[in-house]
Structures are given as C-alpha cells and as structure tokens.
Structure 1
C-alpha cells in the first residue's frame, strides 16, 4: 500500500475501509434519488440506477488513483434538479441535448483545471471565508438531514416547524442520531457505521420506517438498449448543445459546479487538513490540483454514461471524520458501490432514517469551523452570516457562497479596504453577479 502513502498520512487499511463505509452508507441515497429525478425527463429509471452507480464507481476511483484523496464523487444533488426541472421540463430541452450541455461545461472545467484556474480561485479565498464555507455546508447538511428525517417539517405559517415526535419514524431517527453522538463522544472510530447497522437491525426487527429484509438479495443489472443502460449510454448530443440558446444553461452548469466543488473540496479538505503543504514540494497544492482535475473529468464521464453533472460529494466528510486520509478510502468506496449493481434490493432495505442522522452529525462537525472565523472583521462577519444562513434557507450551496462573496466585497469597498481584495475574489464576485443576472434571461 506504498502507493497511497498510508504511513506518511498516519492511517492504515482498516481505518481507510471504515472511512469508506461511512461515506458509502451516507451517500448511498444518491443512486435511487438521482434515478427518480432524472427519470422525469423520459430516461429509463433502471438505466439510471446502473448509470449513477457506474459514474460513482469510475469517478471516485479516478480521484483515489489520480489525486490520492478520500473524496467521493457522484451525480450532484441540485445539479440534477436543474438538469431535469429547469432545462428539460422547464425549457423543453431534449435530454440528449442537456447531456451535451453537461459535457461541454465539464470540458471547459477540465481545460481550466489544467491551467490551475480553480487552484488560483481557491488560493485567492481568504482563510476565514473558507472556514465560513465549511460552516455553511455544515448547516446545509444538518438542515437537509433533519428535513429528510422529518425532525423538522414545512409549515404554511412559520415556514418551518419541529416534526411530529410522536411518529415512530422520527423517534427512530433521533435514536440513531443519539447513537452516533454517543459513539463520537466516546471516540469510536467506526461510530457512524455501528450506529447505522444497529439502527437497521432494530428497524428490520420491529418494522420501523417500513423497513424489512428484501425477498431477493441479488438482481442482475439490465444492459439492454430497450430499458437498460444502453438506452442512455453515449446518447448525448453535443452539436445540438452548441446553439446560442443553450449558452445560459451551460454557464449555469459551469458556475454551479464551480461553487459546489469549491465549497465541498474546501470544506472537506479543511476538516482533514488534506491540502496542507507539508514540504517544499508543495504536496498539498498538487493533491488539490489533481482532485480538481478528477472532479472536472468526472462530469465529462458522467455525461457520456448518461447522467447530469458529477461532482465531489459533501458526504466525503463522513469518511474524513472517520479517519480517511488517502485515495485508498476512495478506492474502497468505489468497490463498495460495485455492490449496488447486483445488490440494489438489499441496500435499499437500509431504512432512510438510519442514514440521515449521519448528515446531521457531519453538519455539526463542519459547523465547528465557524468558531475559528475572525468576527472582529466586519467583512468576515457579514459574509459568514450570509454563507451560513443562505445555504440552508435557499437549499443551495451555490447561493450561499454567492451571497457571501458579494457581501464580502461590498463591505470591503464601503470601508475602502482595497488592499484586502485580490483578483480571485473580484473574479468570483463578478461570476456570482452573473449567476443572478442569468435568472432574468429566458432561454
């Protein structure tokens, strides 16, 4: 295992595997969820199950082998919603053309990655702002986990209210969350995994959350051209996506992935100090650059296979918190996802409310970064507030980051602190403004 430099990163095979299990279980939902969302475009649900799994396997393994970082990738939540409901259903763009737009945006991303564009952007972001992004993503994760577990719910008057704690499913989610907190407090390295397994066994035994063992554990994948993978594989239409009318969609895909990947990779890297330069060779910068390249290449791969934009997953922080530090974690994640192709009925039997509490706990851990922000600086204070508040309130990492940058620059300009602004911040802020302007363009 010299290839992954385990000793140098103070880890071992067992720890990396435990970390991979934590990531796998916390992001397993993406397979059926993504298939459900994209199938609204007319694409085959069965084909999308296989495509989403393959994209996750290939792109995550790419990160592990090429960048040697414990970052998992799959089809991005939010981006798949934009693909389906804005592009295909809202603007009547055929899904092959939409896939072509995804490929083009990913290709542009890939080219810029080789020019160190994204590394330049990341290095231009002040450290306090990067901590704010981590805290904001933490709030977003926790909010999403509590919402999906129905610990909180929508209300027509107050918008949000506490869930029905008399509901056995909510009680079950709180119980699993309690287990996770206990294992974390006791410094149990595989605590996330143990909590999910214990919760699942209890749910299966008592029928909580409609959980039950599947009748069939194994289902052969369908690769046919009728309803199987070949019905969407390599069906992207790049030439149709080159029309001027599709340009705003391509820009939105590009900008959204830019901020999603910046936020995710920055937040995850900060939790595990993955990209610190520990030598004169600037190993941290190299790993960061390679992770960015793999992220961009993943989108191109995903478009060919038949899914919307692929990106780094926030759930990777579950593995980092469990001790994952190298690409071996990503390789294990990829191998575990291979099981999804053959054992979908079994993994779908894991109750959802045994998984969502992981997102809540990871959100808590990421939010801890807010304590390290210098709130004596007015610009940091205002920007952090908008990042942390807007991500969960708008259900968008991109919107939170955009509000943060715009407010940061505005405060700096009002206080005439021009020396604290750099080219990277100005470029990002201009892009943020462009994103909001695109909302007024009908395409």
Structure 2
C-alpha cells in the first residue's frame, strides 16, 4: 500500500515502505503534531514578551525556528520528531535570567547560543550518546510512561478538567465550563474513532472539536498588529560580549545560566527522544535509537539557530507523540510539521484558531497509550521497581522530564551501590548520579 501511494522520490528518501507507512499517513501525522504544538506560537511570545522582547518579533522567530528545526530533523535524521522553543526553558529565560538576575534579553540569547555550541561539542565528542547508553532499559520504559502521564496531565490542565487547588494542589475542575465540556466531547470522539481503528482519529477529533467551539462562539481571536519584517527586532540581536561580562557582575551567574540551559535541555531532550521513539517502535531490542548522532546534531543546530532568530532554547517536543500515534514513522512527519510552522509565520497571531480545548483530548489519549512500555518493567523487583516508579511519578508531578530522570538514575545508582553490584562499566552512571545530587543540593541552597 505504501509503495502504491508514495511517489518514488519520497519513498526512497524517507523509506516509507520499510517502516510500514505512506505519504497520506505521514501528512496526517504531521498536521496532527502541528496542531498539538501550535499553542507555542502564542505562548512563547507571551512569556518572552515579559522579558522585554518584541512580541511580534518573537512570534515570527518561534515559527521560523520551529519550522527550520523540524524540517532539518526530518531530512537529516528521518525521524518523526518536531522541535520548537521549549516550555520551561523559556520561563527560566524570562523569569530567572532576565527578570530575576537582571540580565538583558540580548545577553540571555547569547547564553542560549553558547549552550547550543556546548551541546554540539558534547555530541561530537560522543558524550551525549554515552549518557543515553548508560540509562538502563527499565528506566527507558519508565521515561516513556512518565511522559505519557505528563502529556495527559497537560491535556487535562489545558482543558480545565484538572485545576489548581490551594488545599490539595490539584482538584477536579468545573465540567460544565465550556472548555472542559468541549475537551470531553473531543476525547469521546477521538477515543471512539481510535477504538474503531480509524486512521487520522486524533486529527479528526481536533478538527471536530474546533468546529464545535466555533459554532458555539467559544473561540475569540484578538490578534495584535503583525508584520513578518518585525523579526529584525530580535534576529541576530544577541550579545555575546555581554555573556562573558556576566562573570564579573553576577559572580557564578554565567555558569549557573549555562548549566541550567545545558542540563534541563539535555535530559528533557533525552527523555522526549526515548519516549517518542519507543512509542513509534523505532528503538531496537537492545534499547538503541537509530540515527542517534543525527538527531542530537539536529537538536544542537536548532538551539543555535533559534538563538540567532531571537528565541530561547529549541528542543524536541513531547507532543510529537501525537503524530506518532496518528501513524507517523518517518521524517516526512517532521517535514510536514515544519512546513506548517513556516506557513504559520505569515499568520502567527491567528494560531488561536485552534483552542486548547481541541488539542487537549489528543494529549490525554496519547498519554494513555504511552503507558504500554510500563508492562516491560519487573515491578516485583524492588531494585528495578523503585527507580522506575520515581521516574514515572516525578515527571508529571514536578512538570519536568529532567527531574524524573534525575530521581530515577540517582535511585538506580544508589541501589546498585548498596547491593554491591556496581561494576567498572557503571562509571558514567555514578557520574550522572553525582551530578544530579549536586544539582539538587545547588537548587536547595538557592
């Protein structure tokens, strides 16, 4: 079927038949991934705008960086991974570095560029690859499950089904509220279509929920004035000279900023990479990810390119799992997503066309389906179960893939130590655990 549907050039370039997919499936998957990620076009400018950056310029930079990075990922690595400015790191950029430490946003962009260069050097030296290989199989499965819970939690929160509570941290939201009701409608549609194994179930559900939201008057668009040329206000405005001046005016400020950009992006990226590729069935029996060097190289280039355009760290997006669930198995999915981001550059403020209530059900369903790898974990063995559980639990509860990996790896190393099962081959595992302990101590001291 894939052979008959795919033009020869595209078939050879992306090996569609080999991975059991088709052009139609990949395009649907790319559109699905884009729709679940499109919120970043609105959210990223809003967050970086608080750092004093021109909102229109950041909107354009967000689209261009995401489009460029996703297309490069598709063409270079042939993987269904889409990239965009990362949530969490954009908040750190604004609230800690710029507003908290008083660092100009131009200088903060310089820090992002240097962290991207550091990523590239770590990749070329094979260190990032070594780190991934040091993570045991049961923790890789736990990461996939933890990301599933993380995605589901984001979807439930975006829908208003789960809300913040001062008494219990989280609570059930008002299910009669328009957003929650729309999301529940979308969840029923997507789940029913998925149960009937309808191709494009997620995309159909998103579009159906969006149409209903419009029909009920629940979508209100108030776009700001926008000109594509506005990107000149942030493109190539980074201040590298100011970065190296931070050491004099901020003490360990430069080291702290670079460490966080490196550390969080590294482990968020590894976690996302493992979770999405595992869900796509692209990890081999030994737990190795194909084309890993190319994936990591793309991620490094993406961060550097994003800083030059005028946005915070660009990284692989966990929402790529939505496209994988829709059938995406090759880089064509990422290319389609990237092209849609580039097209969105011309109408960035209109990304509100698809409300969060429409994409939330997709995240909830994908989260549920990403629980499957947890069956691979030997839950009756405490030495395996405890680190795996901490990984699964801490990812959604701390809103950080990096924190989940930190707890899991540290617990795994500690249990191997106390049982006397550490070997010479575990040296990197101990180094990672030590770095995580130092990081937690540093955060506690701060």
Specify the TM-score bucket, using the shorter chain as the normaliser: over 0.9
- Following superposition, the deviation at residue 440 of structure 1 comes to 4.9
Other-structure match for 1:91: 101
1:261 pairs, out of 254, 263, 269, with 269
Q: How does 1:241-252 map to 2 (within 5 A)?
A: 241-242=243-244, 243-244=246-247, 245-252=253-260
1:229 pairs, out of 228, 231, 235, with 231
User: How many residues are paired up?
Assistant: 430
Other-structure match for 1:366: 370
**TM-superposition CA deviations, 1:186-212 (whole Å, max 9, x none):** 1112001100111111111122xx215
**TM-superposition CA deviations, 1:217-275 (whole Å, max 9, x none):** x986331xxxx111111111122223433111101110101100100001111111224
1:339 aligned onto 2:360? no
Other-structure match for 1:82: 92
Q: How does 1:52-67 map to 2 (within 5 A)?
A: 52-67=62-77
Output the TM-score relative to the length of structure 1: 0.92
Other-structure match for 1:385: 389
Other-structure match for 2:146: 136
Contact 1:412 1:420 in 2 (8 A): no
Q: Distance in 2 between matches of 1:441 and 1:94?
A: 25
Q: Distance in 2 between matches of 1:322 and 1:257?
A: 26
Distance change (3 Å), C-alpha of 1:379 and 1:254: same
**TM-superposition CA deviations, 1:248-304 (whole Å, max 9, x none):** 1101110101100100001111111224389xxx9x755121011101111111111
Q: How does 1:211-360 map to 2 (within 5 A)?
A: 211=219, 221-223=227-229, 228-242=230-244, 243-244=246-247, 245-276=253-284, 287-344=291-348, 346-360=350-364
**TM-superposition CA deviations, 1:74-126 (whole Å, max 9, x none):** 00111111111111111111111111111111101011112222222112211
Residue 348 of structure 1 aligns to a residue whose secondary structure is: helix
Unaligned 5+ residue runs, structure 2? 1-9, 248-252
Distance change (3 Å), C-alpha of 1:54 and 1:33: same
1:170 aligned onto 2:180? yes
Contact 1:124 1:423 in 2 (8 A): no
Output the TM-score relative to the length of structure 2: 0.92
Distance change (3 Å), C-alpha of 1:37 and 1:346: closer
Contact 2:56 2:226 in 1 (8 A): no
Unaligned 5+ residue runs, structure 1? none
1:106 aligned onto 2:116? yes
2:49 pairs, out of 39, 47, 72, with 39
- Following superposition, the deviation at residue 428 of structure 1 comes to 2.0
Other-structure match for 2:430: 426
Q: Distance in 1 between matches of 2:182 and 2:191?
A: 14
Distance change (3 Å), C-alpha of 1:191 and 1:420: farther
- Following superposition, the deviation at residue 70 of structure 1 comes to 0.9
- Following superposition, the deviation at residue 344 of structure 1 comes to 3.4
Q: Distance in 2 between matches of 1:215 and 1:92?
A: 31
**TM-superposition CA deviations, 1:46-99 (whole Å, max 9, x none):** 111100000001111111111111110000111111111111111111111111
Contact 1:35 1:49 in 2 (8 A): yes
Contact 2:113 2:307 in 1 (8 A): yes
Alignment RMSD: 2.1
**TM-superposition CA deviations, 1:277-335 (whole Å, max 9, x none):** 89xxx9x7551210111011111111111111110000111111111111111111111
Q: Which moved more, 1:404-413 or 1:301-310?
A: 404-413
Contact 1:138 1:362 in 2 (8 A): yes
Contact 1:277 1:285 in 2 (8 A): no
Contact 1:255 1:431 in 2 (8 A): no
- Following superposition, the deviation at residue 437 of structure 1 comes to 3.0
Contact 2:155 2:360 in 1 (8 A): yes
- Following superposition, the deviation at residue 436 of structure 1 comes to 1.6
Other-structure match for 1:405: 409
- Following superposition, the deviation at residue 368 of structure 1 comes to 2.2
Residue 161 of structure 1 aligns to a residue whose secondary structure is: strand
Q: Distance in 2 between matches of 1:350 and 1:49?
A: 16
- Following superposition, the deviation at residue 150 of structure 1 comes to 0.9
